[in-house]
Structure 1
Amino acid sequence: MKKSKWLQSAILARYSGILHGFSTSLIGDASSAEQSVLLSCSLGVKKNQLQLMSQQHGCDIKIINDVERPLPRVDALITNVRGVALGVRTADCVPILIYDPQNRVIAAVHAGWRGGAEHVAGKTVDLMKHSFNTKAPDCIVAIGPAIGECCFEVGQEVIDKFPSSSVAGGTHLDLPAAIVTELTDTGIKRDNIDWLNICTSCEKGLCFSHRRDKGMTGRHLAMIMMCDI
Structure 2
Amino acid sequence: MGRDVRRNPDKPENTACNSSAGKHESTEGTWKAHGRHMEGTWKKSSVISTKGNLIMKFNNPRHALRWAYETINTPIIKISSVNAMRGPDGAGGVPEGELTPYDRHAQAALIVSLCERALPALHMAYIRVQFGREAGGFNLLARHLAANFGTGLHSRRGIEQIIRAYCGEKIGLREIRKCMACGTLKAAALRNGGYDALDLIHVQTMDILEREMHSRGLLRTADALERA
- For normalisation by structure 1, the TM-score amounts to 0.26
Q: Which protein is richer in helix relative to its size? A: 2
Structure showing greater Rg: 2
Structure with the greater relative contact order (CA < 8 A, sep ≥ 6): 1 or 2? 1
Normalized per residue, which structure has more strand? 1
